[in-house]
Structure 1
Amino acid sequence: IEKIFEAMGCLEEHKVPYATFMLQGEAENWWKFVKPSFAAPRGVIPWNAFKEKFLENYFPRDLRKRKAREFLDL
């Protein structure tokens, strides 16, 4: 999705609303639950903050490291 954002010249304040619009099912419910926990100045949630929280929930750091090692071992 970041590649799309870059190609579109997507503004920072649009990234999270655009990305979360695409969430479905459990991921959409997760977002409805965690969204209020973001203290966002001007109501804009920084993309990096959203991405970190999303990855933390769906792709824990240890899993990402393990997958990166597996990839490098190919």
Structure 2
Amino acid sequence: MAKVTVFHEYCKSCGLCIAICPNKVLEIGDKANQKGYYTVRTNDESKCTGCSLCGIMCPDLALEISK
């Protein structure tokens, strides 16, 4: 099973990872980081296949995918 780790302080809520995820695993959360951005979170990690498209797309390296 794959695991998505979000580094909340790097996330700026651009939404690129959400748009590229084929299984819609990610969403914008309701918790803001120190910069005031509402960061990405997983909504159903069990649907994650570990394709790493979200991590590749992220311009701020805020996501880490592990299996």
TM-score higher than 0.5:
no
TM-score, normalized by length of structure 2?
A: 0.34
Structure with greater Cα Rg: 1
Q: Which has the higher helix share?
A: 1
Which of the two has greater strand per residue?
A: 2
Q: Which structure is richer in relative contact order (CA contacts within 8 A, separation 6 or more)?
A: 2
